Amino acid sequence: MRSSSIRRRPGSFRSNGDRNSFWLSFSDLMSALVLVVILVLFYMLYQYFLMYDDYAEKRDAMVILQTTLQSTEEDIAAKEAALIAAQSELNEKNAALSSAQTELTAAQEDLAVQQLLVAAAQQAAQLTQQELDRQATELQQTLSTLDEQQQQILLQQAQLLQQQGQLEDQQSQIEQLVGIRTRIIASLSEALKSAHISATVDPTSGAIALESDVLFPTGESELSREGKARIDAFLPVYLNVLFSDEYRGYVSEIIIEGHTDSVGGYIDNLKLSQQRAYNVGSYVLADGYPHISDEMRDHLRKIATANGRSYSNLIYNADGTENRNASRRVVFKFRLTDEQMVARLQALLEQGN
């Protein structure tokens, strides 16, 4: 009996070993499942933050585009109003021409009547030669007057044709100029974004501000190593847009402006802002500057200026307090030839009026 009981014990041990192995496998499986669930949750959170960042960028871009569109629509409305006024003036002159032509027709009818009178006078035997000479003189004067009127009408027609040509040229120039600044601003924003350069383009003027704290040590005017690196990354992208075949003919000036905060005196800050703008210009316009081509540097030298504004154009927070970090900056601006051309167009319109 004892030997039979002893023989059954090894089987009992094997049963307990299998049971322990089963629970170990089940525990590993549950651990793996929990790990998978945690990974899925982390992935969902990652996707959520990615979608949120993309939404914020698109929302900001939409606000900028709406502001730009509103400004463009206002410019177009103003220029259309000027064109309508010019068209009204042309209509008035056309009416004057029609009136002159009516007078010419009446004068021609008068001439026909005079000719009939002359014929009748010639047939009348009782009329003297002196009377005939007098009538001939009057007829000649009438013809001379008609010739003068005809010359005036031809001159008015030539003036109207010239004014019509000027209006067509003005309309063509206006159509060409509308939207140039808007397209340049959009191209700059896209180029800076593609180059992964953190800089904000003003949606109205196209000005780009670089913080002075990044470019210069505090209170100094010499460019830091980090500042030069920032300029080296920014300037080629900026000039590749402005000096492209599409926009080069419209860009008449590039302005480098230095700005400070209100700490310190105006004159000291004026000197500091001027020196900072000058040093940025000297750095990028030097013969050995390697980040732009020689042709690009030569053209930039012709149109670039550097100015200091001290603290005359501060940046303020929403609560009205001065934002000193934002106020300390170097701004790159561009000026277009269209500003001068629009002034000339306005002068022509005033001259026509």
- Identify the pLDDT of residue 23: 79
Q: Which fold has domain 180-350?
A: 60s Ribosomal Protein L30; Chain: A; (3.30.1330)
Long-range interactions of 136-143: CB distance < 8 A, separation 24+: 138/114, 139/114, 139/115, 142/107, 142/110, 142/111, 142/114, 143/111
- Identify the pLDDT of residue 1: 47
Indicate the domain borders of the chain: 76-178, 180-350
How many angstroms separate the CA atoms of 264 and 261, rounded?
A: 8
- Identify the pLDDT of residue 223: 95
- Identify the pLDDT of residue 131: 78
- Identify the pLDDT of residue 4: 47
- Identify the pLDDT of residue 2: 46
**Ordered mean pLDDT values, 10 residues apiece, the chain (353 residues):** 48 61 82 91 90 84 84 83 86 86 86 83 73 84 86 87 78 66 95 92 94 89 95 97 94 96 95 97 96 96 96 95 94 84 67 63
- Identify the pLDDT of residue 277: 97
Q: Is 99 helix (H, G, I), strand (E, B) or coil?
A: helix
Mapped to the 3 state alphabet, what secondary structure does 109-168 carry? HHHHHHHHHHHHHHHCCCCCHHHHHHHHHHHHHHHHHHHHHHHHHHHHHHHHHHHHHHHH
Counting every residue, how long is the chain?
353
User: Closest Cα to residue 259, out of 301, 230, 216, 228?
Assistant: 216
Q: Which ranges of the chain would DSSP assign to H, the alpha helix? A: 2-123, 129-177, 180-194, 212-215, 225-242, 266-285, 294-303, 324-327, 338-352
